[in-house]
Amino acid sequence: MFTGLITGIGTIRAITPIGNGQDARFTIQTPANEVWQNAEKRLGASIACSGVCLTVIAAGTDWFTVEVSAETLAKTILGGWKPGTKINLEGSLRLGDELGGHLVSGHVDGQAEIISTMPENASTRWVFELPQDLAPFVAPKGSIAINGVSLTVNEVDGPRFGVNIIPHTAEHTNFSTLRVGDKVNVEIDMLARYLARQLGFKTA
């Protein structure tokens, strides 16, 4: 379980095909900050990598390695990662930690496309377009995780929704590397997912 509050920007150091070549092993360079110097990289730990919950299988002072299945590579933006790609990192929530964002499971529901960005006062308005099957589960003033970042939805127009990114968020996440046309990982709010289950809707 995560909060959607990113604690560092990692960099893809190496990608190695494994098994029959459909799965992959990612080695990720961790940032040089206090959060990523110690226990977050222990073997077996869960780390959200741009919103995808992955398990550490090896780790060093400034890196860790995870394995990713073909299913995850196909359903998320991880299939497009290359050495040098910047990704958002967050270690799993511990009992007693402050819940400053919202509860994020690390189970991505799908991908959204960046439609536009526009300066708006001191922040930037970003507009995304969702797959049609996910659109009904996003509501104004509701929570959503984009590449693992906890955000509040400002407005919804059919499959499109907008959020505001303040300078602090842009500086401390990989939003600063994103451009119109890029795809992002999206996780809808957990409450919306369970409500959909109760009402008989499918999210993916």
Name the pLDDT band for 3 (thresholds 50, 70, 90). Answer: confident
57 and 124 assigned to the same domain: no
Q: What confidence tens digit (pLDDT) does each residue in 149-200 have?
A: 999 999 999 999 999 999 999 999 999 999 999 999 999 987 766 666 666 6
**Domain range spanning residue 69?**
8-91
Q: Identify whether 104 is part of a domain.
A: no
User: With contact defined as beta carbons under 8 Å apart, do 177 and 86 qualify?
Assistant: yes
Domain end marker among 61, 91, 121: 91
Domain end marker among 39, 56, 91: 91
126 and 163 assigned to the same domain: yes
23 token code pair: 């799965």
> Is the pLDDT at 115 greater than 90, yes or no?
yes
Name the pLDDT band for 126 (thresholds 50, 70, 90). Answer: very high
> How far are the Cα atoms of 8, 60, 92, 94, 153 from residue 173, in angstroms, in the given order?
7, 23, 17, 21, 18
Q: Identify whether 105 is part of a domain.
A: no
Q: What confidence tens digit (pLDDT) does each residue in 40-79 have?
A: 678 889 999 999 999 999 999 899 999 999 999 999 999 9
73 and 119 assigned to the same domain: no
Domain end marker among 62, 91, 120: 91
Three-point CA angle 63, 36, 86, nearest 5°: 60
Entry pTM: 0.90
131 and 71 assigned to the same domain: no
> Could you tell me which of 69, 113, 88 has the C-alpha nearest to residue 30?
88
76 and 132 assigned to the same domain: no
Distance between CA 153 and CA 35 in Å, rounded?
A: 28
CATH of the domain at 124: 2.40.30.20
114 and 195 assigned to the same domain: yes
26 and 78 assigned to the same domain: yes
Name the pLDDT band for 34 (thresholds 50, 70, 90). Answer: confident
Distance between CA 65 and CA 142 in Å, rounded?
A: 33
Q: What confidence tens digit (pLDDT) does each residue in 79-102 have?
A: 999 999 999 999 887 666 666 667
